[in-house]
Chain A
């Protein structure tokens, strides 16, 4: 999976080129969102889309696309970190690899295991050869007095480490630490996956899903068709890249959630010959951002924000990082809204809902992740 449209390197934190939606698209979305919040509009209208379409219950994204994307990103990690990670002589440095919460959990663990690198879960730097990979620093961060003392001690230990260390950290945890602690004095280099823009997404979708014709419900145009200059004619993917904040995993999940097609087209073999192109096309209609009930909106924002900073947490531990009394059943309510998952007593932001969660917190004025 190589293409000139794909990013060729990791992005330096602070230099992440956030994809932007076309202005008209942003204005339309903002206008729509206000009306949704005022409960004037309940569901999105799409006059251009045929009436007999259904949302797919399963996923349209083939497994080989996910695999190819993962391999592509592994190569980017190899190019930047592999030689450095196998380096055993000093001087030793601490690097951070910052990922959005929409990047699959454990991607750094899988890469490190695959490349035979040392992994450690706890806040310790055991002696050894080559780089030490800390897969998830977020799990070690606690936004309370004890947590800050522990983080200071850990940073001091990292500062004196006698081997290279790569910290895997969520973009929210990184931003919190960068703005409220001395982590940037200890970490010499922080990078993240580079953003996928509309062209990269078009390449990704076009290569692995070439048998489908995708149409935007907003404009009725084919989202993959290009003009003579090679630019995409429709702005759907540009908007998608912006809504996913450049994260290809988030973009593909939003794309998948937007799919509408005729029930008989789920099975490619049943494609009726001779049907008009409009009838055969797979239509894309973006789902609305979930609405939170008014009476739990504010505490929900604080809980979502805490989960983004700390990663998955046990319900009983939430009180240690949020000095406020949350309404009983709040995690369940957020689960019903499709924003969090509850599994074995752990609450976590639902990966596929991350773009919605970030947007909700952005609108509420909360401090956001900056990469």
Chain B
């Protein structure tokens, strides 16, 4: 029993005022360094050539992880008497604390570390988690922040990578596929639709020339669904690119005498089929 008491008393180093100050300094320096990186990197990245922007943005989570590791590495010897036995004792105690008190936070934090290496998403990527689709603007220890197209910012815990599929639209690339959809009347010839819509995409100022343009058609019950698939050269132009394709594509199809199924007509088809 005496031995046990002795070991427990030797678990911690003597915490003097100077040690506490040192610990405080390490935490403050790491925190300030991280905040500086978080402040500077996105601003510099905005001015970099597009191909480097995503690469540079990913310095933020890496820096956070590195600074966290450095802080832990420096603080532990100041607080604990690092021996194997003490290490096991601390780990056990920590396990109990984490298991009961901060389980959810710890799950998300571990998932965050996994996310840094497995990279289901990176800063600047466009991802969908559940119903939320947006650009990854920040990756914190516990959560990832998305900015959606309507400018809402959504905070999602990393732990969702354990249970949900993460859809990454660009996966670190500088472009992503955009789809403009048209519903055309199923009882009219579709000759020329492919060429017309391909021309629409190839005359868009947002188009990445080097990527393919595809037109896919599929018969559905009340209409033929036509999908125009193309890539913009800039990720952030995806919505305006789809708008451009939809706007000019619809006009070009109507101009070529191809009937676009409008909502009332679509409704009447439905109504007729029910009757």
Contacts and interface: CB of A to CB of B under 8 A. Distances in A.
Interface string B35-47: 0000000011001
Interface string A2-38: 0000000000000000000000000000000010011
Q: How large is the interface on B (under 10, 10 to 19, 20 to 34, 35 or more residues)?
A: 20 to 34
Interface stretch (A140-148, A211-219, A281-289): A140-148
B202 A148 contact: yes
Nearest to A362: B49
Contacts of B47: 34, 37-38
B222 to A, nearest CB: 28
A323 B248 contact: yes
Contact of A145 (B48, B50, B200): B200
Interface of A: 34, 37-38, 143-145, 147-149, 175-176, 179-181, 302, 305-306, 321-324, 362-367
Contact of A367 (B48, B49, B209): B209
B178 to A, nearest CB: 15
B233 interface: yes
12 contacts: A34-B47, A38-B47, A144-B203, A145-B200, A176-B209, A179-B210, A180-B202, A180-B207, A181-B202, A306-B205, A321-B205, A363-B48
Given A37-B47, A306-B205, A364-B49, 20 more contacts: A34-B44, A38-B47, A143-B203, A143-B205, A145-B196, A145-B199, A145-B200, A145-B203, A148-B199, A148-B202, A149-B199, A176-B209, A302-B205, A323-B205, A323-B244, A365-B51, A365-B234, A366-B233, A367-B209, A367-B233
A143 B50 CA distance: 24
A363 B49 contact: yes
A361 to B, nearest CB: 10
Question: Chain A interface secondary structure, helix, strand, loop or mixed?
Answer: helix
A365 B174 contact: yes
Interface string B226-250: 0000000110000000001001100
B205 A180 contact: no
A34 B51 CA distance: 15
B208 interface: yes
A175 B209 contact: yes
A180 B174 contact: no
A147 B174 contact: no
B219 interface: no
A321 B248 CA distance: 12
A148 B234 CA distance: 24
A38 B39 CA distance: 13
A143 B199 CA distance: 9
B204 interface: yes
A305 B207 CA distance: 12
Contacts of B43: 38
Contact of A34 (B48, B199, B202, B244): B48
Name the 5 nearest CB pairs between A and B, nearest first. A365-B50, A37-B47, A179-B209, A180-B202, A367-B209
Nearest to B47: A37
Contacts of A148: 199, 202-203
A363 B46 CA distance: 10
B252 interface: yes
A363 B50 CA distance: 6
Contacts, number: 60
A365 B44 contact: no
A302 B241 CA distance: 13
Interface in B8-37: none
A78 to B, nearest CB: 33
A217 B47 CA distance: 26
Interface string B43-69: 110011111000000000000000000
Contacts of A34: 44, 47-48
Contact of B50 (A147, A180, A324, A364): A364
Contacts of B208: 367
A365 B203 CA distance: 18
B205 A324 contact: yes
A322 to B, nearest CB: 6
A145 to B, nearest CB: 6
A318 to B, nearest CB: 11
B128 to A, nearest CB: 23
Contacts of A143: 203, 205
A164 B50 CA distance: 42
B155 to A, nearest CB: 29
Contacts of B210: 179, 367
Contacts of A176: 209
A204 B199 CA distance: 45
A306 B204 CA distance: 11
A148 B174 CA distance: 27
A362 B234 CA distance: 12
Contacts of B205: 143, 302, 305-306, 321-324
A321 B203 CA distance: 8
Contacts of B209: 175-176, 179-180, 367
Contacts of A365: 49-51, 174, 233-234
A309 to B, nearest CB: 9
A38 B49 contact: no
A149 B47 CA distance: 38
Interface string B190-215: 00000010011011110111100000
Given A38-B44, A175-B209, A323-B244, A147 B203 contact: yes
Residue from the set A176, A321, A366 with the largest chain B CB neighbour count within 10 Å: A366
Contacts of A144: 203
A135 to B, nearest CB: 24
A97 B202 CA distance: 23
Contacts of B252: 145
